[in-house]
Every structure is written in structure tokens, then in C-alpha cells.
Structure 1
Amino acid sequence: MHPMLRRLDDLAAHLATRPNVIALLGLGSAGVEHDRLDDHSDLDFFLIVDDDAVARYVDDVAWLAAPHPVAWSFANGRNGRKALYADGIFVEYAVFTVAQLAGLPFTGARVIWQRPDAPTGLADRPAPPAPTPYDTAEFHLNEALTNLYVGLHRELRGERLTASRFIQSYAVDRVISLLRLTTDATHRRDPFDPSRRVEQAWPAQVLPLAAMVPGYRGNREAARTTLDWLAARFPVDPVLEAAIRRLLET
């Protein structure tokens, strides 16, 4: 068993002795897809407790340290903390009541432990919602183009950081969405973060990330690469393409 999964099991064994804990759910690579857990993973989980116990379990890490000493931690929200065990295992977790859990969007959860009277289906979620009318190739194409256009104007204004976000982040997210809609990639897609595992899905000759995301000083080169990539594969509007190319030459 991977040390991280063993840590989760040891944590569950301790939590089972606490009467105000209802369940422990593994998420991400500690969830149903735990076969992809590796030495670079962190340990994500939800702790489900009685209605009056949330703040106590967020503020106090004694329960977290039961299986192994905690070297560092901080509260990153009303319901959650991040922590580093002394042996290097990094954890991100949140504490909820059953009612709070019911209103949360998540996927791929796995019940590590639950007490006998816990509600059934704590880890279950309905099928993901149907695509919106805007999840189309036309939408993502034009969003990418306008990201390039706005980003280049900000680059010319001297706002290089925000320009890099429009050109090397927002536009690239739209490129990934276009590939998702128009290719048959079989990687495990993260519904909450489109950038996860894209290198496993598309080789560099399909998705030239090194050229699309060259860094802070490379906004013009990145915009040119992404525009050329889009124009070679999709029906780019000539008016908008010409406007972007003028900015590239300014």
C-alpha cells in the first residue's frame, strides 16, 4: 500500500474512536482514482462531523497528528486546513457537516471510513450537468482570440503580468477546451481544472505548450504561436485575426 493511503487508513482508525466524527472521504488521487497516486501527490480528504463540531476539527490538529507528527499547518478557510506531516506527506482537507456536504460540487470521492449510522451515499454525486450552450468550438475559439487581443493591448500598455495571464493562461485554457471537444483524448480529465494531465493527453506536436507558455517576457511570441495554431485548425474570423496581427507588429 502506498504510504499516503496507509496514512489515510491510520487516520480513519483514529477517527473511528471519536463519537462526533461521521465519515472520512478520500478525494482526488486518494479517491476512486487512487491508482494514479504517486510520490508527487498530496492527500486530499473531507472529514464529516456532527453539526456542532466543525470549528473544533478545523482549529485543532491533534486528531490529524494521531497517526504521525504534524510539522506545520495553517487554516486556509473557514472549513479547511493545509498541513505537512513530519515525514513529508502534504495534506489538504476540509471539515463539513452532512448538510454542508450535500451542497458541494465534487467528484471521484471514496469512503475511507464511516460510522454505522452515517447517511448512505455520502460520496455519491449525480451525473455532471449537461454542457452549456457555450461549451462549443465556436465559443472557445472566439474566447481564445479575444484573450489574445486584450492581452496584447495590455502588453503594449506595459501591463506585462496581466497580459501574460490573458495570453498564456486564459487563451491556453480555451485551446485545451477546443482539443477536448475535437479530439479523442483518453486521459483522466479533471472537471475543475482543465490544465491537469494535459501532457498525458496530447503530445507537444499537437499542443505546443512550451511555445504557448514561454513565460513573463514571452507574451508576443506566445500570442503569435497560439494565433497560428488556431488559424491552422479552425475558421478564424479574418477581421479579428488581422486586428491581432497588427498588434503583434506594433
Structure 2
Amino acid sequence: MRKQKLLSRLDEIGQSLESTGGALLLFGLGSVGIELERLDDYSDLDFFVIARPELKSRFIDRLDWLETVYPLAFSFKNTKDGHKILFEDGIYAEFAIFEEKEMDHISFSEGRIVWQEAHFINKGLHIPIVQNVSLKKDHSLNYSLNEALTNLYVGLCRYARGEKLSALKFVQGEAIDNILNVLHLIEPEVEYFPDVFNNERRLEKRFPRFAQTIGDMMQGYHHVPESALHILKYLEDVFPINQRMGEEIRRLANLCVAE
């Protein structure tokens, strides 16, 4: 049921792009791309949209083309090219918008064409050319804590399907790293030899209040959901996080604990 819902939602996004005008191509990535056999109840939507020249910003700045498919409960612009979103019915997605000329420099896995504008000549844009491109990341409070929130969501989905090591890295690795990136904006930092190359160094001296709680957030391989709940609670205490995302993370964590 969930699998078909995901595929149908992606098809509906293609139909919306056609109605909106200005898009050339939609292709799915990962488990909604060419790896459909691994699609399961904990999968999400990853996709790229190729927009006509000069219309890229229209699809990034105005998400009406998604809202007409299904209302959004959460949206977070995590890169200059796209968003992480949660539809009201719990379907999570990550997407990016590009112009055709940009595709030679984008790193991605091979995609599946979901929709294509009738007169557009596809030049193999769904096949990657460049990989392992590093991205410059924003370390603002809004960016880092929303990233941490989505790290929890993705990590718990992976835990639920049995990918516990990957879940550990998302929840107790990436989410924590995103918090550390902006911890100096959340609580006073004690001046004690900060290391510009390694945010974890001397953390206990520099941020003694956070050091008292981090143990609950990093309980190890067998307690990823419990760790996620503590991280979520911390995020809720220090930042006005999206309530719907918080509810979905808590539901997933409790589901994983109960299994």
C-alpha cells in the first residue's frame, strides 16, 4: 500500500509539473528511481526536476506545484537548489531543481524518468556524469537544526527496515554533528582551546551543560530510537521545530522501540 502510494505521489507530481508549465523533466532517484525492487514501507521520495532556463527559482521559491498534489506540513530549503518536505499524510521527500546546463556538474545516482515535457529531447540527463562533488554547507541555526531534524527522520526509517548501522550514523552521527555546528549559538561557550578542524575536541570543557545530556543522545547501536527521542526533546527545547515533523519522528521512534 505504502509503496504504491509513493509511486502514485511521484506520478501526481509529474502531472502537476505539466499543468504548471515551465518544467522539462522529472526523474526519481534511489528506491523510486531504477532501484524499485528495494522500495518498502519506510522509503521516501527523492527526485530532480529539470526546469526551463530562468524558471529554476520559480520552482524553488514557490511550492504551489507540490501543494496542489497534497498539502505540505513541513518544508525546509536545505540547499540552494531544493528542499526537504513532509506532506500532511506523512510522505517525506527530498528534491532539487536544476537547469539542463547544470546537469554536467551534478553528483547523483542514475534516475528513472517519471515525466517528460512532450517536446523536450532528453539527452541522457538521468544518467550521472560527475560524482563525489563536495557541497558547501550553511551553518546557521535554522539550517543546522532542521538538518538534524531530518537526520532523525531518515535514520529512524532506516532503523525500522533493519538498517541499524546506517540509522546509528544518521541519528547519533549526523544529527549530533549538525547540533555541534551551531552549539555556540545555543548555549554559552567556555573559552577553552577550540579546535577549528574538529568540533568535538574539548567539548566537555567548552559546553559543560550540553555535555551533561549528550550521553542520553548517544546510547549506541542497540538504542538508536531512544537516542533519537532524546535528541528530538533537545531540539524542541532550544528551537521552534516543525510540530508535524516532530510528531512523525516520535511516532517512528516509539514504533521502533516497541518492535
- Give the TM-score normalised by the residue count of structure 1: 0.51
In the TM superposition, structure 1's runs of 4+ consecutive aligned residues that sit over 4 Å from their partners are: 126-129, 157-161
Alignment-derived partner of residue 100 in structure 1? 102
Deviation at 1:126, TM superposition (A): 4.8
CA distance in 1 between partners of 2:206 and 2:111 (Å) = 41
Comparing both structures, which one devotes a greater share of its residues to helix? 2
Q: Specify which of 79, 82, 85 is matched with residue 81 of structure 2.
A: 79
Give the AA of the match of 1:81: H
How many angstroms apart in 1 are the aligned matches of 2:42 and 2:206? Answer: 34
Q: Which has the larger radius of gyration?
A: 1
- Judge conservation of contact 2:28–2:48 (CA < 8 Å) in 1: yes
The CA deviation string for residues 153-199 of structure 1, in whole angstroms up to 9 with x for no partner, is: x68x97999xxxxxxxxxxxxxxxxxxxxxxxxxxxxxxxxxxxxxx
| Aligned-residue offset at 1:119 | 2.6
Name the structure 1 match of 2:27: 25
Shift of 1:43: 0.8
Tell me the number of residue pairs that the alignment of Structure 1 and Structure 2 aligns.
149
What residue number does 1:38 align with?
A: 40
Cα distance in 1 for residues equivalent to 2:123 and 2:116: 10
The aligned residue for residue 122 of structure 2 is: 119
Written as runs of structure 1 = structure 2, the 5 A alignment for 1:1-250 is: 2-116=4-118, 117-126=120-129
Q: Separation in 1 of the partners of 2:129 and 2:51?
A: 22
Distance, in Å, in 2 between the alignment partners of 1:29 and 1:17 is: 26
Match of 1:231 in 2: none
Give the distance between the partners of 2:130 and 2:78, measured in 1 at CA. 29
> Are residues 70 and 103 of structure 1, via their aligned partners in 2, closer, same or farther at CA, if it must alter by over 3 Å?
same
Separation in 1, partners of 2:73, 2:82: 17
**CA distance, structure 1, for counterparts of residue 114 and residue 30 of structure 2:** 13
**How many Å separate the matches in 1 of 2:71 and 2:92?**
12
* Residue 125 of structure 1, CA deviation: 2.6
Q: State the Cα distance separating 1:45 from its structure 2 match.
A: 0.5
Amino acid in structure 2 at the alignment position of 1:96: F
1:70 touches 1:86 (CA, 8 Å); kept in 2? yes
Is the contact made by 1:59 and 1:75 (CA closer than 8 Å) also made in structure 2? no
- Match of 2:108, SS state, is coil
Distance (Å, rounded) in 1 between the aligned partners of 2:129 and 2:73: 38
Q: Give the counterpart letter for 2:85 in structure 1.
A: A
1:196-221 Cα offsets, whole Å, 9 max, x none, are xxxxxxxxxxxxx66xxxx9xxxxxx
Shift of 1:101: 1.7
Secondary structure in 1 matching 2:27: strand
1:124 partner amino acid: I
Q: Percent identity?
A: 34
**Structure 2 residues not aligned, in runs of 5+:** 133-197, 211-220, 228-259
Tell me the distance in 2 between the aligned counterparts of 1:97 and 1:126: 15
Residues of 2 paired with 1:108 and 1:7: CA distance?
Answer: 20
Q: Is the 8 A contact 2:106 2:130 kept in 1?
A: no
List gaps (5 residues or longer) in structure 1: 130-150, 162-208, 216-250
